[in-house]
Structure 1
Amino acid sequence: MVFRGTRLLFIFSIFFLFLSCDRQKVKESGEVTTPEQQFTEVKAALLEKIWRLNPEWATSVGYHKYDSELVIPTPERLENEVASYRSMLNDLHKINRTNLSLNNQTDYQMLEDFFNGRIWYATVLKPAEWNPADYNIGGGVAEILNGRYDSLTNRLRSISLKIEHVVPYYEAAKNNIKKPTLEHTQLAILQNKGALTVFDELADSIKVARLKPFEKDFLQSRIATAKTEINSYISFLQNDILPTVRKGQGRSFRIGKELFSQKFKYDIQSGYSAEQVYQKALQHKDYLHREMLALTQKLWPVYFPDEPLTPGLPGVKQLLGKLAEQYVRRDSFLIAIKTQIPQLVAFVNAKKLLTQDPTKPLVVRPTPEYMRGIAGASISAPGPYDKSANTYYNVTPLTHYNAAEAESYLREYNKYQLQILNIHEAIPGHYTQLIYANKSPSIIKAVLGNGAMVEGWAVYSERMMLEQGYGNNAPEMWLTWYKWNMRVTLNAIIDYSIHVLGMTEKEALALLVNEGFQEEAEAREKWKRATLSQVQLSSYFTGYTEIYDLREEMKKKQGKDFNLKKFHEQFLSYGSSPVRFIRTLMLKNEN
């Protein structure tokens, strides 16, 4: 008995020794570190490697160590990036995930998904070969030029070093392009023309900077070279690429079911598959139509007192057309947006929907030319390393529209819909959510932002604001929101239908105009956007559905103890994590 007991004690001692070694690590100094501490160190090292590989992304999140670097996208460089991501995966896998807190397990999973996604992009999707718009130095230069983190003089020095290598950059770009799409080639031409305006602004900045004479000479020479190279790239695309693509020697913008499903998995990171989201969107479309028909019956006598109700969807379209007559003038569009922002701030504060931070500025501005061609409105937000920088609300001027096109666009963004747009883009939508993301205790959750969560929150915030009485609960506002939410729903439908099911432009426009009640100009812009992106249009509906379902689940669990402000602030505290991860964290804390 003694022998057996002693042996048993010995066996348990060995077991716990191995268990202890698995749960902690002894440094050379003799200090014992926990798995949490080890993972914190690994995260910091991996982030540094990520920023070194992606200097422009680093700049955009406020990490300026690599501002002067310009990645030359040669095939060798792309191969090295893949090898680096695989190496980082190996470093990550040295950590035993099961020994981490649930919060850190989420960071672990986000890093793993990010590395796998980057490897897939480079080795399977290969946009470097077919998307000429991937090559544009204007954005990276503008990010530094417009920054506030350092003196203009020092920022110009970084730019000077960055654009020193512009010749091999565009040379590599030309060599990489194998079989581009027509749509991405046209976008590349448009946006690189916009990049030229960045260098005009850069040249103007030299006049007020305190650069030494030789530094000014170097920078002016490099600006001239950069503009020459950009023009050369534009000419290459116009004269060498476009003619061959138009002869059918390019590739289709449609990526097909297999690639779409894989891209959905890496980009959206939903609990649903791409096909499941498509089916849910079809069902939601029918629900929205029922709600809109009911409101149309209620409002018809107000707007058409002498006319019988036009039955079905044509009646909804007619009523929405009447509401669309209330729109701002073309030259007042930007001003109208600026005017509404303080009103949204006041409403959120009055209803105690979440805590806002008045120290973080929101600047409404015309969309810079190098960014135009995809969306009419967008947010450019600073990252967690540069939290005090401005957030920009980009609004594309209507100067590229003729009078009829401009009126169609303004009817789309009429008095009611413009308010919903501002909720979505600004408060409490993208602007507010990204401010919260920068405050997340986990920088991983802030920088590895999930598009479906970010877009889903913006869509959710629209519905939430109306539920709380924004717009005085007017049926006109609700009808307009149903139309707006229909747009989100149709985004998911056409995204899948175009890339997987082969939907034509004619079919897409008919769906958007007849069942989505969109103006033709808006519908054509959406078709264009669907040809230039894949999966992204599905992110709105997917994220919104998951967030709203989570809120309703929490309300049911907590009953009378449910507090909307608490829910919002807890949800937003997890940065821009995929909603399925946030759901796990919130429900775990609830238990």
Structure 2
Amino acid sequence: MRLRVVACLLSVALSACASHSKSGAPSSSDLPTPERAATAAYAHFISEYMDWYLAANPVRATRLGFHEHDCHLQEVTAEALKRKTEALRGWMTRLEQVNGSKLSGDAAIDVVVLDHALRAELLELEEEHVWQRKPGSYVELVSVGLSSLSSREFAPVGERMRSLRARMTRIPGVVEAAKANLQDVPRLWAEQAIRDARGTVVYLRVDLPRALEAQGLEQVPGAEREAFNAAREEAVRHMTEFATWLEKDLLPRATGDFRMGRALFEKKLALEEYVTLDADQLRDINERAIRDYKAWVAREAAKVDPTQPPEAIMAALVSDHPASEELIPLARTQLVELQRFVREKDILTLPSDALPSVRETPPYERLSFASMDSPGPFERTGQAAYYNITNVEPEWSADEKSQHLTYFNRAGLLGITVHEAMPGHFVQLLYGAKVPTDVRKVFTPNSVIEGWAHYAEQMMVDEGLGDGDPAVRLGQLRRALQRHARWYAALALHVYNEPVDAVAKRYAEIAYFEPFPALREVERGTSNATYLYYAMGRMQILKLREDYRRSLESKGKKFVLKDFHDRFLQLGLPVELARKVLIPGDAAPSLE
């Protein structure tokens, strides 16, 4: 351990990662010669590639639960990114040389996952040009690089402080690379980066020392505390100067267009989410879903008051929200109640009795309304998980605060807690240990992560959550329409070139949103082009469930919801590939 700390502080060569025994490759001893050769080639490839991947992405490695590279930040100079691109192309060539058609079992599926992951990362570097156009990516590298070391206690506080110091010394390099690389930046992205950079300064000044104090900072020798605080003050200075540069230098010349365009949008969606439908097909599917959910809203609203239009019922629903100081306590109570409901209704097998901690979203991560900060699938000691809720900001007007809180209306907050924690993201985290290969743990698509959590919202009400209270169903339907509004916004912004204000107006109409939170959601969509994966993933899982049910019943077998959930969560696969495992011989589309 002392040698590793010295290596961090002296920046010596990166240490080798642990070997990845769960590669997905079967034992080759009893296989025919061609299969044995392919299996050996794949096992060799995946071991070397994963070692390279973790070293090339040290912050991601920390978040996954590998700590050999905790003292490093990813190199982001133009030269380093060029080297990374060349390395990825080399890995693509090597993967193509593995005879995937001769592989069997998990490995035969995982080579497809790897191929998509490699091509998606190359797309980001070579066609999206994220490092040239998105200043927030540099802020995120710093903020996540530091918070991933402070948010959970996977190692003694003194050791993590030394890794934090090492990463802090690399902040000037990140800032200088940003200044050299950034060009053709959209104005909105510059504004978002300024806000996030200032939030990172607050984190460095307030949240970081507070977190370490709660973890036993007083036990660290005084000299080390002083060295750490000196490094922290330097980090504050560099991030403050970066925020100023973003505002004074970059913002005035930030005239780039955030729109991705049809071809790049469709390519990105196919590589990242395994959906190959074109934009027009996706628009038709979404508009049909919006009509269906609107009709459902009308039926449920009539149960509340048949004399009022659905819009009035929804307005009354969202106006019934807790005060800002009540958000966190109420979510904690809901967590316990939802855990009991999952057990009583036999929804799925809960691998643990654990529950996440509920807290306000840290200031550098407040682009979303709520989120789950979970330990990585390979984390062995720092198992704390945090359910983040974004409360109102002090500088907002009274009207903005009120509009923001409508998102956390009482029925809505219940569904958010389902989504983020029980049985959504947090339970999916608990199932991580059951996923059979490292490849799937590292490269899980958003349509599975967010799709599962969003599916859980509807499934839980279908199974009786709320005891038939139309307000609970309306809250779930509003969130479903919010995700379909994101689907609409993604296509409208990046494919059909609609203006932001017009998209925000229709977003509010689709999702029964107030103008201010609707605009915030659409602004998020400018930099998260494929955030349709929430509703898309939910629709894929619902279709898979019904197709799986029919497949079992055609063979005289009984469908059990708990069995489906347990099997799906343990697979860790995109729905397109999960279908091939759950329904052998399946050729049906995952979305239509």
| Shorter-chain TM band | 0.7 to 0.9
Instruction: Determine the structure 1 residue equivalent to 2:36.
Output: 24
Instruction: Determine the structure 2 residue equivalent to 1:223.
Output: 232
Map 1:460-475 to 2 at 5 A.
460-475=455-470
Instruction: Name the SS for the 2:364 alignment partner.
Output: helix
Instruction: Determine the structure 2 residue equivalent to 1:494.
Output: 489
Instruction: Name the SS for the 1:52 alignment partner.
Output: helix
Instruction: Determine the structure 2 residue equivalent to 1:380.
Output: 373
2:582 paired with 1:582? no
**C-alpha distance in structure 1 between counterparts of 2:270 and 2:279, whole Å:** 8
Aligned partner letter, 2:532: S
Aligned partner letter, 1:363: S
**C-alpha distance in structure 1 between counterparts of 2:221 and 2:329, whole Å:** 40
Instruction: Determine the structure 2 residue equivalent to 1:123.
Output: 126
- Shift in Å, 1:202: 4.3
For residues 505-551 of structure 1, give each alpha carbon's deviation from its aligned partner in whole angstroms, at most 9, with x where no partner exists: 3322332233332222321221221223211x210121111110000
For residues 216-262 of structure 1, give each alpha carbon's deviation from its aligned partner in whole angstroms, at most 9, with x where no partner exists: 454333222222211121111111111222xxxx2112222222222
Map 1:449-488 to 2 at 5 A.
449-488=444-483
Change (3 A) 1:46 1:82: same
**Pairs aligned (count):** 546
**C-alpha distance in structure 2 between counterparts of 1:409 and 1:157, whole Å:** 39
Aligned partner letter, 2:552: Q
* TM-score normalised by structure 2 residue count: 0.88
**C-alpha distance in structure 2 between counterparts of 1:211 and 1:481, whole Å:** 48
For residues 539-576 of structure 1, give each alpha carbon's deviation from its aligned partner in whole angstroms, at most 9, with x where no partner exists: 0121111110000111112236101000000000112x
2:539 paired with 1:539? no
Aligned partner letter, 2:36: Q
Contact residue 371 and residue 389 of structure 2 kept, 8 A: yes
Instruction: Name the SS for the 1:441 alignment partner.
Output: coil
2:568 paired with 1:571? yes
Map 1:500-579 to 2 at 5 A.
500-535=495-530, 537-559=531-553, 561-575=558-572, 577-579=573-575
- Shift in Å, 1:60: 0.5
* TM-score normalised by structure 1 residue count: 0.88
Map 1:165-564 to 2 at 5 A.
165-200=170-205, 201-203=207-209, 205=212, 208=217, 211=220, 215-245=224-254, 250-301=255-306, 309-310=307-308, 315-372=309-366, 374-388=367-381, 389-400=383-394, 401-535=396-530, 537-559=531-553, 561-564=558-561
- Shift in Å, 1:56: 0.2
Which stretches in structure 2 are left out of the alignment for 5+ residues? 1-30, 588-592
**C-alpha distance in structure 2 between counterparts of 1:336 and 1:189, whole Å:** 32
For residues 280-338 of structure 1, give each alpha carbon's deviation from its aligned partner in whole angstroms, at most 9, with x where no partner exists: 0011111112222233333325xxxxxxx35xxxx110111223343212211121111
Which is further off, 393-402 or 282-291?
Answer: 393-402
**C-alpha distance in structure 2 between counterparts of 1:163 and 1:82, whole Å:** 26
Change (3 A) 1:588 1:203: same
Which is further off, 46-55 or 209-218?
Answer: 209-218
Map 1:5-44 to 2 at 5 A.
20-25=32-37, 35-36=38-39, 38-44=41-47
Identity between Structure 1 and Structure 2 (%) = 23
Q: CA RMSD in A?
A: 2.2
For residues 96-141 of structure 1, give each alpha carbon's deviation from its aligned partner in whole angstroms, at most 9, with x where no partner exists: 1112124212211111111111111111110111111111212211
**C-alpha distance in structure 1 between counterparts of 2:90 and 2:227, whole Å:** 38
Residue 63 of structure 2: which of 51, 60, 64 is its match? 60
Instruction: Name the SS for the 2:178 alignment partner.
Output: helix
**C-alpha distance in structure 2 between counterparts of 1:167 and 1:322, whole Å:** 50
Contact residue 437 and residue 445 of structure 1 kept, 8 A: no
Contact residue 59 and residue 67 of structure 1 kept, 8 A: yes
- Shift in Å, 1:152: 0.5
**C-alpha distance in structure 1 between counterparts of 2:105 and 2:577, whole Å:** 10
Report the structure number with the largest CA radius of gyration: 1
**C-alpha distance in structure 2 between counterparts of 1:105 and 1:20, whole Å:** 16
**C-alpha distance in structure 1 between counterparts of 2:72 and 2:338, whole Å:** 40
